[in-house]
Each structure stands twice: as structure tokens, then as C-alpha cells.
Amino acid sequence: MKPKIWMSSPHMGGTEQGYVKEAFDTNWIAPLGPNVNWFEQDVELFLNDNIHVAALSSGTAGLHLGLVLLGVKAGDEVICQSMTFSATANPIAYVGATPVFVDSEKDTWNMSPEILEAAIKERIAKGKKPKAIIPVHLYGMPAKMNEITAIAKRYEIPVLEDAAEALGSSIDGKRCGTFGDIGVLSFNGNKIITTSGGGALVSHDAGLVKDARFLSTQARDEAPHYQHSKIGYNYRMSNICAGIGRGQMEVLADRIKQRRAIYDQYYKKLSGKKGIYFMDEPAGYFSNRWLTTLLIHPDEAGFSREDLRLALEKENIESRPLWKPMHMQPVFAGSAFYGDGTSEKLFENGLCLPSGSNLTDVDMARIFEAIDGILN
């Protein structure tokens, strides 16, 4: 069996172990510590825009804390992009709220501003104004944030921006994660850079980020004993993980270039082939191309995305259908959904291809050989 080619695997830059060793040498083996502070500063500098960052144990923790900080409570409704990873929607259930799912639009595959507004109007007419809106930047492609935040402002609903897949993506130079009232990043092992496991909550509101740090370290009031007046969480990033993150931040710009180069290779090879469609960047949009994705229209192409997936699998190459929309998931059966079938079609025809920044020319040749087998 040939070695496995993964869709997206960790890619160290080389300095990570030095920062981790520093943590060991100083015995800072704890959630929080100097690496965490430096890592937060690195991410703040990268995102720019006077943003504040709290490093956490995961992106999921960031989304959960985000909802808590926005005051979402049991019985509330939260509007959520339907096509996404379950980690976007699960935190709505953690706080006892109910998700209202909104479909994607065709340009970015992310939340449709038109359907969002229709959904808000109908929920308000039903006497239930949504407490938050969660758009997602899938595969690194920014959602239509200018339109979405304008609607959110008009109806005075806060935006919790799931930028887990979009570190380094931007619209007109403004980085993903900085559009919402709160943004969330992920540093899981499969993301564009990783801390092995980790995430961050970011906001322009320094007070909110201070509260996130407080809640994520068990909400300890100032006192010599353990004193609590709020429910806390154990969600802070470990000083070891942050050491990895400091090294990874040094190579983030390279990783974006490398992922985009992988996309370009696929594009060169496959664009213009019958029935194969890529997700182009709208004017002013910049995607980190975390994953290269394709749509295959089987009636035009003569094969389906599943045919291609199985052909790759036979060669020990990992690929995967696009995110299965949340309104189609058994766990969210019966949830409200506003849509026009866009995300269902994307799920039916879409495939994520191996996109790691550490893919070699030999790996790419193997991938293209398997794709050629299907094309011919």
C-alpha cells in the first residue's frame, strides 16, 4: 500500500519545539503562561485592526464562550449557517438555545444574506427575535460579511463570526475574524496552522476579551480563596500548545501561499474540464484556500464526485464530500431551516481534495494520476 495522502495534516515550521522547550525549562506546564501571552500578541498583530485575542483550548470553546458573552440563554433562538461543521452549531445547544438554520448562496457557498434577512423577518413576526447570527467562512472563502453585518446592524442582532477555517482570508484587506462582534479561530491539527488543539476568541471590545479570559479560567473572583460569582469554564489554551502556536505564526504567511499554490495546481489541471467547477474569489475577496474544493456535475462530467472520491481512496488518498448541512443532520432534525436548496446541491456534488501545505510534488503527481484515471 502506498503511503496515505491526507487532506490536511500538521506542517511544522521548525521553531515550535524551541518555544515548547522554553515552557519545559521554565516549568510553565499550565493552561496560560508566557507563550500564551506572546501567541495572543502574534495573532493580534496579524489580524491588525485593533483587535484583542484570547487564546483558548479549541475553536468550539470559543464559539461556546462567544454565545455566553453575547448573553444567549436557554430558550433563545440563534441563526446559524446550515452548511458547516457541527462544531459551529453544537454550542447553540450547549447554552440551551435553538438553532435556526440558513442556507448558502452560490458565490461563496456561505450564508445567504437574502435568506438571512427573510429568516430574521419571519422569526421576529413569530415573536422571537434571534439573539445572534453565526456565519462561517467555509474552506477559507469569506462569507459576504459586508452584507451580513449590515443586516445584523439593521435588526440589532450581534454577529458571532466562525473564522475557524479562514485565518489569513480577507475582504478588501480586512481579515476574517474581525468582522463580527466576536470572531472565533481554530488551531486544530487539520487547520492552516495548528497548536495541536486550540482556538481563540477575538473582538474589538477589549472588555469582552477580558471577560473571555476570566470565564475560560473558571471565573475566579479576586480573593485569596476560591471565590465565584459566575459559572466558569476550563477553556484556556495551554502554555505548551501556545509554544507550538508561536512557531506556527512565523510561517503562517508561507502556509497561505503554499495552500493557494496547491489550489492553483488543481485549477490549472482541471478548470475547463466538462462538468467541473471551482469556487472563484469574488472581487476583493481573498481566500487562504484552506481546502481546495470542486463541484462535479455528473450529467456533464460523466462521473460523480463519489466516483472521484472512491478512485482517490483506492490509491490511499483522502478526500471528502463538502460539509453535510446541519438541517440534514439527524441530530438537528426538526430545526427551523430557511433555504432554496443551494447547500443540499453543494453537498451532493462537492468534494474536498488533499490541500495540505506539506504536499510534495510526488504526492501531487499521485493525486493527478488518480484523477486522470477517472477523467479518461
Ligand X SMILES: *Cc1c(COP(=O)(O)O)cnc(C)c1O
- What residues line the site for ligand X (CB under 6 A)? 58-60, 84-85, 87-88, 136, 162, 164-165, 186, 188, 199
Q: Which is nearer to ligand X, 193 or 251 (CB)?
A: 193
Task: Say how far apart CA 58 and CA 194 lie, in whole Å.
Answer: 11
Closest approach of Cβ 272 to ligand X, in Å? Answer: 30
* Continuous segment of H or E residues that includes residue 95: none
Query: Which residues lie closer than 8 Å to 96 by C-beta, 6 or more apart?
Result: 73, 74, 75
The phi, psi pair for 232, rounded to 5°, reads -105, 175
Residue closer to ligand X (CB basis): 99 or 276: 99
CB of 126 to ligand X, least distance (A): 28
Nearest CA among 209, 166, 219 for reference residue 191 = 166
What residue is closest to ligand X based on CB? 59
Q: Which is nearer to ligand X, 75 or 189 (CB)?
A: 189
**Between residues 76 and 165, which has the closer beta carbon with respect to ligand X?**
165
> Which residue lies nearer to ligand X by CB, 92 or 136?
136
- Minimum CB–partner distance for residue 154 and ligand X (Å): 26
Q: Is the dihedral of CA 337, 109, 203, 90 positive or negative?
A: positive
Q: Which is nearer to ligand X, 43 or 164 (CB)?
A: 164
Smallest distance from the beta carbon of 311 to ligand X, in angstroms? 26
Give the integer Cα–Cα distance in Å for 331 and 323.
15
Sheet with 160-162: strands ordered across: 52-56, 199-203, 182-186, 160-162
Q: Which residues contact 233 (CB under 8 A, 6 or more apart)?
A: 61, 64, 65, 215, 216, 218, 219
Our CA angle for 207, 210, 215, nearest 5°, is 120
Residue 113 vs 140, nearer CB to ligand X: 140
Q: Min. distance of Cβ 368 from ligand X in angstroms?
A: 26
Beta carbon of residue 59, minimum distance to ligand X (angstroms, whole number)? 3
Where would I find the beta strands (DSSP E) of 155-198? 160-162, 170-171, 174-175, 182-186
**At its nearest, how many Å lie between ligand X and the CB of residue 307?**
26
